[in-house]
């Protein structure tokens, strides 16, 4: 039986956002009125987190009121994998998509992992199954399997090592084999293949957000004469990456911005990343030719509140499957 907390929550001190001159940075991503509208839910979630001994992890693609309002820890998929493993909280609420919650459970099998919406999936993760990997192993028995972390637990369990966009090249280069099965994102694989002497055998998966960008769109952004730096995620098509000034993972793009501080930037990735980075780097003007991830946007403050209130929806991974998947994820984390 779920313990009801709505009538027993003790009041706690919560910093209430009030419009001031210092709130101008926040206004760049959400007007003061919207922050005030979100405040009651933010306060309720903060109280529930304490009562449930929970930690909220949020991916960079979450909306600002989640990313800046209730998240305890945030980052890209590699950062979230590390944070899930190191967290001491009894309950982990993953504000991301399902494979991220599975990864948290794989690395922390003794903890309760919740996701606010079970339908928060991923087109890339859905593009391949464990059976597909087994069939590829039969076809290429001497090729180790490198699997992007944006995959299901069953696919990770069939893999030799996982990777993220930030360490994909390093993972491939760490292997002694000259031929590697790189799954499932063909665009990330194409980008890595251009930087290594190894032969990469690719799968035809793609992220529905990043593959919608085009080179013509990037060239259109540059018209008008104003200086613009374009940063693109390697899940984008090759012609888009060829137009970019910098190609890198979510964390790689953020670190590049902090180092270089360009005046005007377009981040060729999911929309909310620009919003969240803009608060941290107010001196940069962000042009937003972005695409929304419909799966990430299933996560809302209301659903986060409800998942903590009712302790739903718990993500489970079968123990033996989790053990095999954890081996591939831990090999990735050991590489960097």
DSSP element (H, E) containing 94: strand 91-95
User: Could you tell me the two tokens for 92?
Assistant: 């982990």
CB atoms within 10 A of CB 150: 26
Structural domain contains residue 157: yes
- Of 205, 230, 264, the last residue of a domain is 205
- Of 205, 228, 259, the last residue of a domain is 205
Mean pLDDT of 8-20: 41
**The total number of structural domains that make up the chain:** 3
Q: What is the pLDDT of residue 9?
A: 44
Q: Per DSSP, which regions of 125-228 are E strands?
A: 145-148, 161-163, 179-183, 199-202
Which has more pLDDT, 88 or 50? 50
Structural domain contains residue 280: yes
Report how far Cα 280 is from the mean position of its chain's Cα atoms. 18
Q: What is the pLDDT of residue 146?
A: 98
Whether residues 99 and 175 share a domain: the answer is no
Structural domain contains residue 12: no
Mean pLDDT of 22-29: 52
Whether residues 217 and 189 share a domain: the answer is no
Mind listing the pLDDT tens digit for each residue in 289-309?
778 888 999 999 999 999 999
Question: Domain range for residue 243?
Answer: 210-287
Structural domain contains residue 331: no
For residue 16, pLDDT over 50 is answered with no
Structural domain contains residue 254: yes
Whether residues 180 and 216 share a domain: the answer is no
Whether residues 149 and 107 share a domain: the answer is no
User: Could you tell me the two tokens for 36?
Assistant: 């005030």
Report residue 4's pLDDT band, with 50, 70 and 90 as the boundaries. very low
User: Could you tell me the two tokens for 261?
Assistant: 């501080």
Whether residues 27 and 118 share a domain: the answer is yes
Report DSSP letters for 9-72, one per residue: PPP---PPP---GGGHHHHTTS-HHHHHHHHHHHHHHHHHHHHHTEEEEEETTS-HHHHTTT-S
Report residue 82's pLDDT band, with 50, 70 and 90 as the boundaries. confident
Long-range contacts of 132-138 (CB under 8 A, 24+ apart): 132/203, 133/158, 133/159, 133/181, 133/183, 134/158, 136/181, 136/183, 136/201, 136/203, 137/181
Whether residues 62 and 77 share a domain: the answer is yes
Task: Name the average pLDDT for the chain.
Answer: 87
Q: What is the pLDDT of residue 28?
A: 57
Whether residues 55 and 110 share a domain: the answer is yes
Whether residues 56 and 75 share a domain: the answer is yes
Please, which residues bridge with residue 56 across strands?
93
Which has more pLDDT, 146 or 60? 146
Whether residues 187 and 247 share a domain: the answer is no
CATH of the domain at 146: 3.40.50.10800
Whether residues 83 and 130 share a domain: the answer is no
Q: What is the pLDDT of residue 61?
A: 87
Report residue 83's pLDDT band, with 50, 70 and 90 as the boundaries. confident
Mind listing the pLDDT tens digit for each residue in 160-185?
999 989 899 999 999 999 999 999 99
Structural domain contains residue 44: yes
User: Could you tell me the two tokens for 120?
Assistant: 């928060």
Whether residues 116 and 31 share a domain: the answer is yes
For residue 22, pLDDT over 80 is answered with no
Mind listing the pLDDT tens digit for each residue in 213-253?
999 999 998 886 678 999 999 999 999 999 999 999 988 99
Task: Give the sign of the dihedral formed by CA 39, CA 25, CA 291, CA 101.
Answer: negative
Whether residues 64 and 140 share a domain: the answer is no
């Amino acid at each position: 039986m779920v313990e009801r907390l709505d009538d027993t929550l003790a009041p706690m001190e919560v910093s209430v956002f009030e419009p001031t001159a210092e709130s101008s940075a926040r206004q760049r991503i959400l007007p003061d009125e919207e922050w005030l509208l979100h405040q009651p839910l933010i306060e309720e979630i903060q109280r529930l987190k304490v009562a449930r001994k929970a930690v909220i992890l949020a991916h960079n693609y979450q909306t600002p009121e989640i990313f800046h309002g209730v998240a305890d820890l945030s980052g890209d998929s590699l950062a979230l994998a590390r944070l899930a493993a190191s967290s001491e909280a009894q309950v982990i609420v993953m504000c991301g998509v399902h494979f991220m919650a599975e990864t948290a459970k794989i690395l922390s099998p003794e903890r309760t992992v919740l996701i606010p919406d079970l339908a928060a999936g991923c087109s890339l993760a859905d593009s391949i199954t464990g059976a597909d990997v087994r069939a590829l192993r039969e076809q290429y028995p001497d090729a180790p399997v490198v699997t992007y972390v944006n995959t299901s637990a069953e696919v990770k369990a069939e893999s030799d090592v996982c990777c993220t966009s930030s360490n994909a090249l390093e993972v491939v280069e760490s292997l002694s084999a000259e031929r590697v099965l790189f799954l499932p994102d063909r665009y990330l694989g194409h980008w890595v293949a251009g930087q290594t002497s190894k032969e990469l055998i690719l799968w035809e998966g793609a992220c529905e957000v990043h593959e919608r960008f085009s080179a013509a769109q990037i060239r259109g952004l540059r018209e008008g004469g104003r200086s613009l730096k374009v940063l693109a995620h390697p899940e984008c098509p090759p012609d888009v990456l060829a137009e970019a000034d910098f190609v890198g993972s979510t964390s790689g793009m953020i670190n590049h911005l902090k180092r270089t501080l360009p005046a005007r930037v377009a981040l060729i990735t999911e929309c909310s990343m620009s919003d969240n980075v803009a608060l941290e780097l107010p001196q940069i003007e962000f042009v937003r030719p972005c695409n929304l991830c419909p799966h990430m946007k299933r996560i809302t403050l209301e659903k986060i509140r409800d998942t903590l209130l009712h302790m739903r929806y718990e993500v489970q991974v079968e123990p033996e499957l989790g053990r095999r998947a954890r081996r591939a994820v831990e090999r990735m984390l050991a590489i960097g």
